[in-house]
Amino acid sequence: MSGLHVGIIMDGNGRWAKSRGKPRWRGHLAGVDSVRDIVRSAPNLDVTTLTLYAFSSDNWKRPPTEVGRLFWLLREYCRRERAELLQNGVKVTAIGRRDRIPRSALGTLEELEDATRHGTTLHLRLAIDYSSRWMIAQAAAELARAVARGTLAPEEIYPDLMDPLIHRGVPHLDLLIRTAGEQRLSDFMLWEAAYAELYYTNTLWPEFRARNLVAALSEFGRRKRSFGGLLKIEPSVKVS
């Protein structure tokens, strides 16, 4: 599967709801429409891997009622979107911890993962109970176990060894989008974002649609990516 890998920090659901005098969970509900629209449009925009920040490990600090609503929405999304995701060739996988996800939501999520495992049009990755620092620590622990077994020497540990343990076969991140005006990564794909282009928009997530993704990708197309090297500059032509 070729094409672009786009990650999105879906921010602004609560502010969207508050501006309309609605409870916060109504903003999360409205945000599902944006997820649907972006998933539908992504393949036509040469996006073949899409990673969505659905629930961070820090989100456990929110009120239990809101957390419960979020996992209810996850379960309903997996159920209601399953037929369309299958029809459109979308492969769904979750990244992050699984041991703290409520059993009913986890079961429905894993059923969707299994049902869509052969999808080739779009790889939709849902970051749930996700912390990039935790993922990096897990990769480091895996290397530490190899050192303890005697199959790896400490001086042999380089970023190239960490890289596949974090990416797990997924293409490198090309573009990271954050909605709602905030300009920070919030523990999302810290390793993967090393050479990614960052795009911030004031648009709240429930209002983010395919046209906004097109705008982000258009800006991405204008960026010059050197990956730490020098950009190739065409020699000037002298006119005699």
DSSP-derived secondary structure letter, 172: P
Strand 4-9 relative to strand 175-178, pairing: parallel
User: Catalytic residue at 59?
Assistant: yes
Q: List the structure tokens of 140.
A: 């480091």
- In sequence order, what are the residues at sequence separation of 6 or more whose Cβ sits closer than 8 angstroms to the Cβ of residue 66? 24, 25
User: Catalytic residue at 174?
Assistant: no
Q: Which position among 33, 37, 59, 187 bears the catalytic label?
A: 59
Q: Which position among 11, 13, 174, 212 bears the catalytic label?
A: 11
Q: CB-hemisphere CA count at 13 Å for 159?
A: 3
Distance from chain centroid for Cα 21: 29
3-state secondary structure of 36: helix
| Residue with token string 């906004």 | 212
Q: Rounded to the nearest 5°, which phi and psi values hold at 10?
A: -85, 85
3-state secondary structure of 202: coil
The alpha-carbon radius of gyration of the chain (Å, integer) is 20
Q: In what order do the strands lie in the sheet with 90-95?
A: 90-95, 122-130, 47-56, 4-9, 175-178, 197-200
Give the residue numbers marked as catalytic.
Answer: 11, 59
